Structures are given as C-alpha cells and as structure tokens.
C-alpha cells in the first residue's frame, strides 16, 4: 500500500493526527507534491466537518477534543495555504 492510501485511510478512520504527521513527512520528501497537497486539503475538509459537528452539539462545544481538532485544523490550513473557511 502506498503512502497516499495509508494517509487516506487515516483520514477516513478519523486518525487525523496520524494523517497530519504522514503528510508532513511526505512534504519533507517532496515539498511540491500535488498528491500530498491534495491529501492535506482532504484532511482540512474532514477536520472542518468534525469541528462543526462538535461545535453544534452543546455537550461537545468547547470540549478538549474540539479544541484539539481546531488547533490541528489551524496547523493543516497553514500547511496547505487555505483560509479557515477553505
């Protein structure tokens, strides 16, 4: 299985930190890689969705998990040059 498939599997499983770390490693090896940039954008979409889901629930809004995911989202969007809204 190639790196892109592994990263996509991490994203699909909600293993966002693992996906982010793998993308960072990929960028270290190939800084201009379109594949890793695409995966980074996919990760940011998944994180945005999860952050919105947590924020829309009174029980999880402001939770530790929500804060951790938001911080990770901010790191991912810095990596791929997106704004907070995409």
Range of the domain at 25: 3-80
Tokens of 51: 């952050």
Question: Is 38 within the bounds of a domain?
Answer: yes
Q: What percent of the chain has pLDDT over 90?
A: 70
Number of compact structural domains in the chain: 1
In a domain, 85, yes or no: no
CB 80 within 8 A of CB 37: yes
Query: Is residue 1 predicted with pLDDT exceeding 80?
Result: no
Residue 84 pLDDT greater than 90, yes or no: no
The pLDDT, as a whole number, for residue 76 is 95
- Calculate the dihedral angle through the C-alpha atoms of 40, 45, 51, 52, rounding to the nearest 10 degrees: 170
pTM, two decimal places: 0.90
With respect to residue 86, please indicate whether it lies within any of the assigned structural domains.
Answer: no
Q: What is the mean pLDDT of the chain?
A: 91
Residue 42 lies in a domain: yes
* Per-residue model confidence (pLDDT) at position 50: 95
**Mean pLDDT calculated for residue range 3-7:** 93
55 burial level (CB within 10 Å; 0-12, 13-18, 19+): middle
What does the pLDDT average to over 16-41?
92
């Amino acid at each position: 299985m190639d790196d892109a498939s592994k990263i996509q599997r991490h994203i699909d499983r909600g293993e966002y930190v693992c996906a982010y770390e793998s993308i960072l490693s990929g960028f270290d090896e190939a800084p201009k890689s379109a594949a890793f940039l695409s995966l980074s954008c996919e990760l940011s979409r998944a994180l945005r969705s999860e952050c919105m889901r947590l924020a829309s629930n009174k029980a999880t809004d402001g939770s530790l998990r929500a804060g951790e995911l938001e911080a990770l989202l901010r790191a991912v969007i810095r990596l791929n040059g997106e704004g907070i809204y995409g």
